[in-house]
Amino acid sequence: MKVKIISAGAPVAMQPLTCNRDLQQIPVAGIALEERLLRMFESDNRNGNKLLEIRADLCPSAKLLSTIMEAQENLLLKSPDGVEMMRLTVNANSAYQEIQLDDASIIIRYPWDILAINEQIVAAISEDNIKGTVRERVSVDGKLHLGEKSVILPGVFIEGNVIIGENCKIGPNCYIRGNTYIGDNCHVGQAVEIKNSLLMNNVSAGHLSYIGDSIICSFSNLGAGTISSNLRHDGKNHRSMAGDALLDTGRRKLGVIIGEHVHTGINTSFYPARKVWPGVMTKPGEIVSRDKTA
């Protein structure tokens, strides 16, 4: 099968994740969206004449993936608003059968969609893959992937599935909950709790912080006592700005979306579902109640 990825550009609604890159370059669980799509279909050598044209902002479910791989006829998939998301050509002389998007597939429109994809990937790991060092008095209640030259120090408790990259230092005495991905060259230190989050490469959260249902982009540093709130007091879904629109995210729990090269001052607190643009700094004790673009 030949695969052509159709660029999704850098939509404003995906900021701050697309401030400095196109959507297909966003890494999820360590692999860019474009590369992940290519890997999904690279094993299909049954029909080299098939041509799959797929948008970079489509994350197909296992069901949709199987449908595409097994197809013996031309297929066409559109989004609910009529955008062509995928076209599979088996026979150039035949008509296309239009198929429907299933509930488990994700069209990536907003930053919290990236969090949902990360959840799926980490939840799907079924066995341990430990290449780094796990010291004594570390508890793991779930499946763990740990990269080379990474070390988990005493007193760390891991609950649920967690993926940790290479050259990381985790602990001592921190709590990591599924479904969390931590990239390469990261530091998660003393009394830090991370839950259901995506930390990209070169992120540091050294002391006394809580990061829940959040995305932290590369080269960001969280000062001691940085806290992300992720739950409304009334229990309703979070709303977040996307461009000029205030949208229902569909998520009951959503923390902070932090761009690249962000530095938070000690004791920074984030309201739920807030976003921070790349290169921004917060002051010690700052309460971030609105998206922070500068």
Residues 150 and 262 in one domain: yes
Within-domain flag for 58: yes
144 contacts 180 by C-beta, under 8 angstroms = no
Q: Which of 78, 109, 140 is the last residue of a domain?
A: 109
Q: Using 50, 70 and 90 to split pLDDT, how confident is the model at 42?
A: confident
Within-domain flag for 30: yes
Within-domain flag for 32: yes
| 140 pLDDT more than 80 | yes
Within-domain flag for 118: no
Q: Which of 109, 140, 157 is the last residue of a domain?
A: 109
Q: Using 50, 70 and 90 to split pLDDT, how confident is the model at 49?
A: confident
Within-domain flag for 283: yes
Q: Return contacts of 141-144, CB within 8 angstroms, 24+ apart.
A: 142/178
Percentage with pLDDT > 90 across the chain: 95
Within-domain flag for 293: no
DSSP class of residue 160 equals: S
**Per-residue pLDDT tens for 188-203?**
999 999 999 999 999 9
**Per-residue pLDDT tens for 127-137?**
999 999 999 99
pLDDT of residue 46: 59
Cβ-Cβ contacts under 8 Å for 102 (sequence gap 6 or more):
61, 63, 64
Q: Is 238 a catalytic residue?
A: no
252 contacts 233 by C-beta, under 8 angstroms = no
**Dist CA 260 CA 219 (whole Å):** 6
Number of structural domains (the chain) is: 2
Within-domain flag for 84: yes
Q: Using 50, 70 and 90 to split pLDDT, how confident is the model at 44?
A: low
**Per-residue pLDDT tens for 229-270?**
999 999 999 999 998 899 999 999 999 999 999 999 999 999
pLDDT of residue 104: 93
**pLDDT mean over 79-90:** 96
Percentage with pLDDT > 70 across the chain: 98
Selecting among 207, 233, 261, 263, the annotated active-site residue is 207
Q: Using 50, 70 and 90 to split pLDDT, how confident is the model at 45?
A: low
At residue 245, the 3 state secondary structure works out as: strand
pLDDT of residue 8: 95
| 47 pLDDT more than 80 | no
Within-domain flag for 247: yes
- Counting beta carbons within 10 angstroms of the beta carbon of residue 285, is it exposed (0 to 12), middle (13 to 18) or buried (19 or more)? exposed
CA proximity to 118, closest of 221, 197, 23, 38: 197
Residues 67 and 202 in one domain: no
For residue 79, what are the domain limits? Answer: 2-109
Query: In the chain, what are the helix, strand and coil shares in percent, each to the nearest 5?
Result: 15, 35, 50
pLDDT of residue 9: 96
**Per-residue pLDDT tens for 93-119?**
999 999 999 999 999 999 999 999 999
Q: Using 50, 70 and 90 to split pLDDT, how confident is the model at 76?
A: very high
Q: What is the CATH number of the domain that holds 174?
A: 2.160.10.10
